[in-house]
Structure 1
Amino acid sequence: MSYPFEYGDDTLWDAGYHSGQLYRALAEGAAGLLEVPSGLTPAPQGGCTVDGAEFQAFTQRLYDLHADSSAAVLRDLAHGLLVTSLVLLDRTGGGIAVRPQDTAALDAAKAALARTMAS
């Protein structure tokens, strides 16, 4: 059973059921902490629809939290959620502002993860 993330007519990620549910739950938790909507709406048939503008704003705030924190645990907890969100955001055609010193590492992490995320 899959858990697709849909953007218009496009499937951004045809996640496994548990992977998709966990990602959505983590994103919703982070969105609550960041006090912004995640841009993810559960679909009646399962999976989620993605609101591009809201999801871009969420991903930017998540990156800002990650980049601005000196707490190693917070950065590590946010990292996986951030990289997954960046892959999805790339697939919507959106993007966020990233500090030059973070670009290479995030690009490499996105590329590695994107290869495992079927669309």
Structure 2
Amino acid sequence: MSYPFEHGDETLWDAGYHGGQLYAALARAAAGVLDVPSGLTPTPQGGCAVDGDEFQVFVQRLYELSGSGTSEVLRELGHGLLVTSLVLLERTGRRISARPDHTAALDDARARLARTMTP
């Protein structure tokens, strides 16, 4: 059983059921902390629709929080969620603004994870 993340008619990630549920739950929780919508809406078929514009704002705010340098724990907790979100965001044709000294590491982490996230 899968848990697809869809943007319009395109499947961005056909996640495994538990992995997709966990990612969606973590994104919802993080969006609550950030006080922005996640851009992910559960679908009746058992997946999520991705609103590209809202999701881009969410991912930008997630990056800003995890990259703020205020807490090592916060940075580590947010890293996996951020990288997964960057893969999905790129598949919508969007990107975030990242500090130049973070860009290469984020692009590398995103590219490595993207190879495992089947659309």
TM-score > 0.5, shorter chain as reference? yes
Structure 1 residue 4 and structure 2 residue 10: aligned? no
Structure 2 equivalent of residue 61 of structure 1: 61
Q: CA deviation at 1:69?
A: 2.9
Indicate the percent of aligned positions where both proteins have the same amino acid. Answer: 71
Structure 1 equivalent of residue 103 of structure 2: 103
5 Å-filtered alignment, 1:28-67, equals 28-67=28-67
- TM-score, length basis structure 2: 0.99
- Which ranges in structure 2 are unaligned for 5 or more consecutive residues? none
Separation in structure 2 between the aligned mates of residue 69 and residue 42 of structure 1, nearest angstrom: 32
Separation in structure 1 between the aligned mates of residue 69 and residue 25 of structure 2, nearest angstrom: 22
**2:67 counterpart SS class:** helix
Q: Which runs of 4+ in 1 moved over 4 A?
A: none
- Which ranges in structure 1 are unaligned for 5 or more consecutive residues? none
Separation in structure 2 between the aligned mates of residue 29 and residue 37 of structure 1, nearest angstrom: 10
Query: What one-letter code is carried by the residue in structure 2 that aligns with 1:61?
Result: R
Q: CA deviation at 1:75?
A: 0.2
**1:18-38 deviation per Cα after TM superposition (whole angstroms, max 9, x unaligned):** 000000000000000000000
Separation in structure 2 between the aligned mates of residue 54 and residue 70 of structure 1, nearest angstrom: 25
Q: CA deviation at 1:70?
A: 2.5
- TM-score, length basis structure 1: 0.99
Q: CA deviation at 1:67?
A: 1.1
Structure 2 equivalent of residue 27 of structure 1: 27
Separation in structure 2 between the aligned mates of residue 105 and residue 31 of structure 1, nearest angstrom: 24
Aligned length: 119
**1:31-85 deviation per Cα after TM superposition (whole angstroms, max 9, x unaligned):** 0000000000000011000001000000000000011133111000000000000
Q: CA deviation at 1:112?
A: 0.5
Structure 1 equivalent of residue 115 of structure 2: 115
Separation in structure 2 between the aligned mates of residue 105 and residue 94 of structure 1, nearest angstrom: 18
Structure 2 equivalent of residue 88 of structure 1: 88
